[in-house]
Amino acid sequence: VRGGPVIAVDGPAAAGKGTLARRLAEALGLPYLDTGLLYRAVGRLALDAGRDPADPAQDIAQTLSPEALRRPDLRAPEVAVAASKVAAQPLVRAALVETQRRFARERGAVLDGRDIGTVIFPDADFKLFITASPATRALRRFLQMGGDATAPDARQKLADMEETLRARDAADAGRETAPLCIADDACVIETDTLDAAAVLAEALRLARARLAGQPAG
């Protein structure tokens, strides 16, 4: 028995999952967990140790400390790639399942990631799949990282970013364990033409309708 509702937010890279999940949690008074940080921290520590992130990394996942999740350098592009490589390892994923489930136990939670609605909480109270075209997502990540869309090389940088995101999405969707995919009972929000406030409004409308009649968190 959980102390509050569990809301799963999944989707491809830079779709706006984290931005939405954080605001949704705030609006509903629920704790928020960015599960990508778990894989990013494992990837970061593998790189620090001079290891290939494709090599077995379960020892790192099994001993992950809260401090490792608070490192300021987890958003770097090379860490995202390393995260995706360690995330393809079944033993790494297995080591992180309990942490994610425990997080929601007391008060419920909003969690964002790739497999929250499919593997971590298949019985979540409400599931969202947040997506946008690769071009939109590339622009979002480019701007988020301080890129200047009016610079002479912006076109090339956006094309490179799009290719990088596509490659990571393909790896995440193509892996055998907990691949990125839409849960059968998820609500899909296409966000190409929606800003973050509009996505939040739509998600809140759907969440409130779905959670109505359930005990509040």
Binding residues for ATP, by number, are 11-19
Using the rule CB under 6 A, give the single segment among 44-52, 64-72, 111-119, 209-217 that binds ligand CDP.
111-119
# residues contacting ligand CDP (CB under 6 A):
29
- If one asks whether residue 117 binds ligand CDP (CB under 6 A), the answer comes out as no
What is the C-alpha separation between 27 and 19, in angstroms, rounded?
12
Using the rule CB under 6 A, give the single segment among 24-32, 57-65, 190-198, 207-215 that binds ligand CDP.
190-198
What is the C-alpha separation between 150 and 91, in angstroms, rounded?
44
Residue from the set 33, 47, 103, 114 that interacts with ligand CDP by CB under 6 A: 114
**Residue bearing tokens 């999940």:** 21
- If one asks whether residue 162 binds ligand CDP (CB under 6 A), the answer comes out as no
Residue from the set 52, 70, 123, 144 that interacts with ligand CDP by CB under 6 A: 144
Question: How wide is the angle at C-alpha 106 spanned by C-alphas 103 and 111, nearest 5°?
Answer: 35
Please classify residue 154 by burial: count the beta carbons closer than 10 Å to its beta carbon, then call 0-12 exposed, 13-18 middle and 19+ buried: middle
Residues contacting residue 37 through CB under 8 Å, at least 6 positions apart: 69, 74
- If one asks whether residue 173 binds ligand CDP (CB under 6 A), the answer comes out as no
- If one asks whether residue 5 binds ligand CDP (CB under 6 A), the answer comes out as no
Give the up-direction half-sphere exposure of residue 9: CA atoms within 13 A in the CB hemisphere. 31
Residues contacting residue 162 through CB under 8 Å, at least 6 positions apart: 134, 135, 137, 138
Using the rule CB under 6 A, give the single segment among 65-73, 154-162, 187-195, 202-210 that binds ligand CDP.
187-195
- If one asks whether residue 118 binds ligand CDP (CB under 6 A), the answer comes out as no
Residues that bind ligand CDP in the complex, under the rule CB under 6 A: 11, 13-19, 35-36, 39-40, 80, 83-84, 87, 113-116, 140, 144, 168, 172, 191, 194-196, 199
